[in-house]
């Protein structure tokens, strides 16, 4: 579904739909442009819901697009996604390079479901080649809805502002009970230690967050432990399906820890 009816575009080349939507409107903006943009937004929601409607065991993996293939985090994300795929979970990422590519690659090589939800950016971010299903969105908030709606957990690998945005948005939604409490896993204790220390030493001490809020986060350096956390969360919800009953087959004793 594509809605593109607008007045002649006066924006500079490379301006994204998000940027156009969020800019301060001119006198006739609402009557001539924003009304039609609502239909485009609606079309993206409809397409996303339609494409992902059958997805029931998704796990989203986030992390830096700048992570190189020789970075240990790349291999850890690849291994984590492979274990998730073997356990019956679909892996969802932003569909781009770096950690996203590593996660999609791991799921793809394990013959699992590997989904990429890419985003229109001023500098083109191409999709990585390890997707069984790829979607592309113009609006960040529509894309974010897909991550939350179709995920049983968020795995956060080392990353920058975008990764932090996904992390804190998920925590806010859980804390305010807008969504049910699903696991949010920080991979890489050394990377996240400074942030967690600051939260404890300042935000917690000053009463800006509570001890219970901090318990929303899991920290690990083990791909196998990531999957264990996701599966345990499903068991606690009483998910009595074959995916849970076959847990012993997912974790060979020699799994990396």
For residue 208, pLDDT beyond 50: yes
- C-alpha R_g of the chain: 19
pTM of the model: 0.82
Q: How confident is the model at residue 18 (pLDDT cuts 50, 70, 90)?
A: low
For residue 255, pLDDT beyond 60: no
Q: What is the predicted pLDDT for the residue at 253?
A: 40
Q: Using CA atoms, how far apart are residues 76 and 94, in angstroms rounded to an integer? A: 17
Annotate 153-179 with b (16+ C-beta within 10 A) or e (fewer): bbbbbbbeebbeebbeebbebbbeeee
Domains of the chain (ranges, CATH numbers) = 48-240 (3.40.50.450)
For residue 14, pLDDT beyond 80: no
The residue that leads in pLDDT, 257 or 180, is 180
SS3 state of residue 83: helix
pLDDT tens digits for range 104-144: 999 999 999 999 999 988 775 789 999 999 999 999 999 99
Look over the chain and give the mean of its residue pLDDT values, rounded to a whole number.
Answer: 86
Sequence-distant (6+) residues with CB within 8 A of 238 are none
């Amino acid at each position: 579904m594509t809605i593109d009816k607008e007045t002649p575009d006066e924006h500079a080349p490379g301006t994204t739909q998000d940027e156009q939507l969020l800019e301060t409107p001119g006198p006739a903006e609402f009557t001539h442009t924003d009304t039609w943009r609502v239909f485009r937004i609606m079309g993206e929601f409809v397409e996303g819901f339609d494409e992902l409607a059958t997805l029931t065991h998704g796990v989203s993996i986030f992390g830096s697009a700048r992570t190189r293939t020789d970075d240990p985090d790349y291999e850890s994300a690849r291994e984590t996604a492979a274990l998730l795929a073997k356990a019956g979970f679909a892996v969802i990422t932003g569909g781009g390079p770096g950690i996203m590519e590593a996660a999609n690659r791991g799921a793809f090589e394990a013959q699992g479901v590997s989904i990429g939800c890419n985003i229109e950016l001023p500098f083109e971010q191409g999709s990585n080649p390890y997707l069984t299903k790829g979607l592309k969105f113009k609006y960040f908030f529509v894309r974010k809805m897909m991550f939350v709606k179709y995920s049983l957990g968020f795995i956060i690998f080392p990353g920058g502002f975008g990764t932090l945005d996904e992390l804190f948005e998920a925590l806010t939604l859980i804390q305010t009970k807008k969504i049910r409490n699903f696991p949010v896993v920080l991979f890489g204790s050394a990377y996240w230690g400074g942030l967690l220390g600051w939260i404890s030493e300042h935000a917690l001490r000053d009463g800006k967050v509570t001890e219970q809020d901090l318990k929303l986060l899991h920290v690990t350096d083990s791909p196998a432990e990531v999957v264990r956390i996701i599966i345990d969360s499903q068991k606690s919800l009483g998910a009595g399906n074959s995916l849970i009953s076959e847990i012993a087959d997912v974790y060979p004793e020699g799994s990396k820890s």
